[in-house]
A and B are shown apart, each in its own frame.
Chain A
């Protein structure tokens, strides 16, 4: 860990936090609720703050530079591309199912279903962003 920069350490911590908190989202999809999604958002914030504080406490040199900013931008670009692509796929599927008469908008759980889908998109984009940044650091950019 000594050879990693401060920014790189925080990225590994973010990835761990994302996988711990969001991981169950993909496996407990049927049991999701608005409260569960809200709980995950609170949990990720709390876990991120705790992990970042620990890393900051044990890292003397917390300098970031132009390369860190460039890698950060690459990560956000990858995340944006993923969320935009998933949005297009999602809209196409919505259009397809509604055309085939398979969408039941009178279903009381339709709102929760959309919440799950959109939250899932954001989760995938967030993990992609972090993973892209880690790969960029490992490749030395």
Chain B
């Protein structure tokens, strides 16, 4: 399991936001949103805050840290 996991896909689906829409709002590429949703890329703190802000949730609801996870 990765050290940092996220609920971007679920939160995005609830709000009916496309990957491209979220990418445009956050200022990243759609491929980066895909990589984050697959838990293959851990974004910077700034991007993580932006994602949480755009999804309208506190950052801890969007991203979770697992100290036993693989970095």
Chain A positions near chain B (C-beta within 8 angstroms)? 3-8, 61, 63-68, 137, 139-141
- With A65-B27, A67-B35, A139-B40 given, can you name 8 additional A-B contacts, CB distance below 8 Å? A4-B31, A5-B29, A66-B44, A67-B31, A68-B29, A137-B31, A140-B40, A140-B41
Interface residues of B in 23-71 (CB under 8 A from A): 27-32, 34-35, 38, 40-41, 43-44, 47
Q: Is the CB of A67 within 8 A of B32?
A: yes
- Contacts between the two chains (Cβ within 8 Å), count: 42
A55 shortest CB reach to chain B, Å: 15
Q: Which residues of A have CB within 8 Å of B35?
A: 67, 140-141
Cα separation A64 to B38 with both chains bound (whole Å): 19
16 pairs across A/B with beta carbons < 8 Å? A4-B31, A6-B29, A7-B29, A61-B29, A63-B29, A65-B47, A66-B28, A66-B32, A66-B47, A67-B28, A67-B32, A67-B43, A68-B29, A137-B31, A140-B35, A141-B35
> Do A140 and B34 form a contact, CB below 8 Å, given A66-B44, A67-B41?
yes
- Expressed in whole angstroms, the minimum distance between the Cβ of B70 and any Cβ of chain A is 14
Q: Report the minimal beta-carbon distance from B4 to chain A, rounded to whole angstroms.
A: 13
Query: Roughly how many angstroms separate A113 CA and B34 CA in the complex, as a whole number?
Result: 48
Residues of A within 8 A of B27 (CB): 63, 65
Answer whether A64 and B41 are a contact pair too, CB < 8 Å, given A140-B34, A140-B35: no
Min Cβ gap B15→A in Å is 21
Please give me the residue from chain A that is nearest to B29 by CB atom: A5
B51 nearest CB across to chain A (Å): 12
Nearest residue (CB) in B for A7 is B29
Determine the distance from Cα of A67 to Cα of B27 in the docked complex, in whole angstroms: 11
Which residues of chain A have C-beta atoms less than 8 A from B47's C-beta? 65-66
